[in-house]
């Protein structure tokens, strides 16, 4: 399996394991419609960014990128700032600095605390992006 697809598989499995029983999840390039207009869901974006470090005379060892999980909280009735921020904090805590996720041939680690951005309106929802930097290495 390619580095990028193995990394995505590892990250997506971590999201599913942590949140599928609680929230609906919109994964990249997969058709998705919330089950109801009042459903809280997670909108996942994956942004690989290539090799961070290359060993002399070998393939790149560490790959890096960004995983963004936007909390989509219905804007009606008005949720205020606390309820969507609480869900965003749960996402950030799940992918907190030092977290490691194991997949097929990859170990994906989180080197820094995720960043929770300012909430903003988005098509009947309050969107709260949680930006997660990751590093993916060959499992040894």
pLDDT tens sequence across 28-67: 999 999 999 899 999 999 998 876 655 555 555 688 999 9
Q: How many residues does the chain have?
A: 140
Across 122-126, average pLDDT? 89
Lowest mean pLDDT among 35-39, 60-64, 107-111, 127-131: 60-64
Q: CA distances (Å), 99 to each of 73, 102, 110, in order?
A: 26, 10, 5
Non-local CB neighbours of 23 within 8 Å, separated by 6+ positions? 40, 41, 42, 87
The reply to whether CATH 1.10.287.4070 applies to domain 3-138 is no
């Amino acid at each position: 399996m390619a580095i990028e697809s193995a990394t995505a598989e590892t990250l997506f499995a971590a999201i599913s394991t942590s949140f599928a029983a609680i929230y609906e999840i919109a994964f990249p390039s997969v058709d998705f419609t919330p089950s109801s207009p009042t459903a809280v869901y997670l909108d996942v974006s994956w942004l690989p960014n290539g090799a961070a470090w290359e060993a002399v005379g070998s393939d790149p060892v560490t790959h890096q990128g960004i995983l963004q999980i936007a909390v989509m909280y219905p804007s009606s009735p008005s949720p205020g700032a606390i309820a969507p921020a609480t869900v965003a904090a749960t996402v950030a805590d799940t992918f907190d600095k030092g977290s490691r996720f194991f997949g097929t041939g990859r170990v994906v680690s989180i080197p820094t605390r995720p960043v929770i951005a300012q909430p903003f309106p988005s098509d009947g929802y309050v969107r709260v992006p949680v930006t997660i930097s990751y590093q993916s290495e060959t499992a040894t």
